[in-house]
Structure 1
Amino acid sequence: MENQKQKVYDALDKLNIKYEVVEHEPVYTMEDMDRLGLPEKGTLCKNLFLRDSKGKRHFLVTCEESKKVDLKALGRQLGGGNLSFASEERLEKYLGLKQGSVSPFGLMNDTDHQVEFFIDKDLSRCKSLGIHPLENTATVFLSYKDLDKFLWDLDVDVIKIKL
């Protein structure tokens, strides 16, 4: 299997995006991330892969790791009705990711643009964002502006919301 992390690094390099990589043990939760002491490098991002009640619409929502997200209120805000976490099968199908590796970088695998991407406006004020590079054994730190540039290159509609 192709090195997923390298796929991200190559895409960032192609766009001349500056980033820093921190390799670490596999992490599956934000609590695991906090134990690594990474917040000093930048703002760690929490990424939620969600679906509507009918399973017709899929959403990737990125916010600051400590934000509490009310799925009922978020569903109303996104026009998706009742939201729930999508299954690992859907995560693999739409973003090519495994549980614990959810990331905006996964949108590079969504070539049919079936996943709607939403990012919390508050992240735009952060100096550096920490995001997994398709695997949960590393964290990439880059600027909000550079993440936006990466997603723009993928032709992803980045919808900014207030959480």
Structure 2
Amino acid sequence: MTLMNLLAGWGITPPLIEHPPLFTCDDADRLLVERPGTRLKNLFLRDNYGRRHALLLTRSDKQVDLKVLSRQVGWSRLGFASADRLQRYLGVEPGHVSVLALVHDRERQVELWLDRELEHGDDFHCHPLRNTATVLLSKTDLLRFTSRTGHTPLWLPVPAP
């Protein structure tokens, strides 16, 4: 079953936009990709010991102070998880990450952190497990999706440097 079919079965039918591969937010900027809604940066993080993992969603243009965020959430030294961990926990390669990859985290080993600055956003730009397309996921559908996958979002003020 494809991701889009799964979403439709859950009553989630976002628009799908095909495009050239976009590995980073900068790639979208270079291609002058303009779409309505809220562009996201998706950071797959791990604690210092590699025992805890989180997917952080924030604005595409925001720099994140991982040292301050680490203290804020009470985790030992946050860092970026490796490509191997990304594949193991979310089933995608670097450049293909979005909240939709949580569909692969059936054991709910990855926490979902959402920047409070996104609370009033809508039509969130998400790769549907591949970086050659984007879906525009409404806030309602985002929360419906996370409910169906068993991931309760933690809304937090994400610190910038």
TM above 0.5 = yes
Which digits, 9 at most, give the CA deviation of each residue in 1:57-83, with x for residues without a partner? 111101111111111111112211211
Equivalent residue number for residue 138 of structure 1: 133
1:7-26 to structure 2, matched below 5 A, reads 7-26=2-21
Equivalent residue number for residue 38 of structure 1: 33
Corresponding residue to 1:116 among 76, 101, 111: 111
Which structure has greater helix proportion?
A: 1
User: Aligned with 1:94: secondary structure?
Assistant: helix
Equivalent residue number for residue 57 of structure 1: 52
1:77-156 to structure 2, matched below 5 A, reads 77-156=72-151
> Unaligned 5+ residue runs, structure 1?
1-5
Equivalent residue number for residue 3 of structure 1: none
Equivalent residue number for residue 161 of structure 1: 156
Shift, 1:114, TM fit: 0.7
Shift, 1:18, TM fit: 3.4
Contact 1:123 1:144 in 2 (8 A): no
Percent sequence identity over aligned pairs: 41
CA RMSD in angstroms comes to 1.4
How many residue pairs were aligned? 158
1:70 matched to 2:65: yes
After TM superposition, the score normalised by the length of structure 1 is 0.91
> Unaligned 5+ residue runs, structure 2?
none
Poorly superposed stretches of 4+, deviation over 3 Å: 36-40
